[in-house]
Amino acid sequence: MQTAPHPVTAAEAVPVPRPQAARPRNAGLPLDLDWVAGVQANTSAIERRAATLPGRRSVKKDHQAAWLCKAISLIDLTTLSGDDTPGRVRRLCAKARQPVRGDILAALGMEGLTTAAVCVYHEMVETAVRALEGTDIPVAAVSTGFPAGLSPFRLRLAEIGESVAAGAREIDIVISRRHVLTGDWRALYDEMAQMRAACGEAHVKAILATGELGTLRNVARASLVCMMAGADFIKTSTGKEGVNATLPVSLAMVRAIRAYEERTGIRVGYKPAGGIAKARDALVYLALMRDELGLPWCQPDLFRFGASSLLGDIERQLEHHLTGRYSAASRHPAG
């Protein structure tokens, strides 16, 4: 059933401090294969609903600026390149501390706004942790043989432990896609549960690599199994697949989150990643979360954008809001 749109207010969009530590984590539950087998996904209906989302809600002026500031507070500012250097990561962390030029933040009354986290490879975790000292911005590390997840399992678990020891407070793990494609839900559950245990106190985001799972039904079932195994977040993509975050995939995943919360009372977060580069896209995803799951899922403890270029476009839109002019992208460097 299509959810009716709600009026959007600027007050709802004001970023709030991340209450992650206060919210109970997802402890998981025993694998329920009957529940998994009963999960279906009406692809045509999901695609029809997704097609309506970009045009269903239009926010303008102060309301739009407020929601764009909200979007900034939800970004996992990311660099996952083979040519990453400590200098690049330090610049990215400086951008996370002050994601928008100071004059723009002051004019908007948004001094102190930061991104939700900084996401890097394990090799750069210590550099990022040092660069973010004195803030509450966590470092997230991609792990478990990212992006393919095909290294030996013992090494994938060891990688998690190394990143946690280096100071990562969030771990983005990748699942073994073959378990989904062959319907081996027990293997996926056991793998996810062991990865969750290896994370200890660090929050774990399970990357499904949805572009490689074949069907929306597989996406929905994999989402449910990962939540049963204790994932704190489920995430669409590594950003390295041919197809990354899409609105149909997002609908399938957030509805799995809703079903899990309705049955268990536990709220699990959602992170679309890959291909979200424009401010207007961020607004559509926020509208989706608000309509499908409610305002609690518009806070950084339950929703993140995995992005690198999104922030630059949002900053340009905010400057346009204040001045009426679009500036060159070079005026808003990523770091």
DSSP for 222-271? HHHHHHHTT-SEEE---S-SSS---HHHHHHHHHHHHHHHHHH----EEE
Annotated catalytic residue, options 70, 76, 271, 281: 271
Annotated catalytic residue, options 70, 95, 205, 235: 235
In angstroms, the CA 92 to CA 78 distance is 8
More confident residue, 207 or 61: 207
| CB distance 216 to 43 below 8 Å | yes
What pLDDT does 235 receive?
98
Determine the average pLDDT of the residues in 177-193. Answer: 98
- Whether 271 sits among the annotated catalytic residues: the reply is yes
Q: How confident is the model at residue 247 (pLDDT cuts 50, 70, 90)?
A: very high
Determine the average pLDDT of the residues in 259-273. Answer: 97
What pLDDT does 4 receive?
36
**Tokens 């070079």 belong to which residue?**
330
Locate all alpha helices (DSSP H) within the chain, ordered by sequence.
10-13, 33-38, 43-56, 61-72, 86-97, 102-108, 125-131, 153-165, 177-181, 185-199, 216-228, 247-264, 279-292, 310-323
Q: Using the 8-state DSSP alphabet, how is residue 16 labeled?
A: -
Kindly report whether the peptide bond that precedes residue 147 is cis, defined as omega within 30 degrees of 0: yes
- Whether 205 sits among the annotated catalytic residues: the reply is no
Residue 21, pLDDT > 80, answer: no
Determine the average pLDDT of the residues in 105-110. Answer: 94
Distances (CA, A) of 273 to 14, 18, 121, 239, 316: 23, 20, 16, 6, 21
- Among candidates 266, 183, 267, 275, which has minimal Cα distance to 237? 275
Residues 6+ apart with CB under 8 A from 314: 68, 71, 72, 100, 279, 282
In angstroms, the CA 205 to CA 243 distance is 19
CATH architecture of 26-327: Alpha-Beta Barrel (3.20)
- Whether 240 sits among the annotated catalytic residues: the reply is no
Determine the average pLDDT of the residues in 37-65. Answer: 89
Q: Parallel, antiparallel, or unpaired for β 269-271 and 233-235? A: parallel
Residue 1, pLDDT > 50, answer: no
pLDDT tens digits, residue range 52-96?
998 765 778 899 999 999 999 999 999 999 999 999 999 999 999
Q: How confident is the model at residue 20 (pLDDT cuts 50, 70, 90)?
A: very low
pTM of the model: 0.92
Annotated catalytic residue, options 70, 76, 95, 172: 172
> Which phi and psi angles does 317 have, rounded to 5°?
-65, -35
When mean pLDDT is compared across 15-24, 61-70, 225-234, 257-266, the lowest value belongs to 15-24
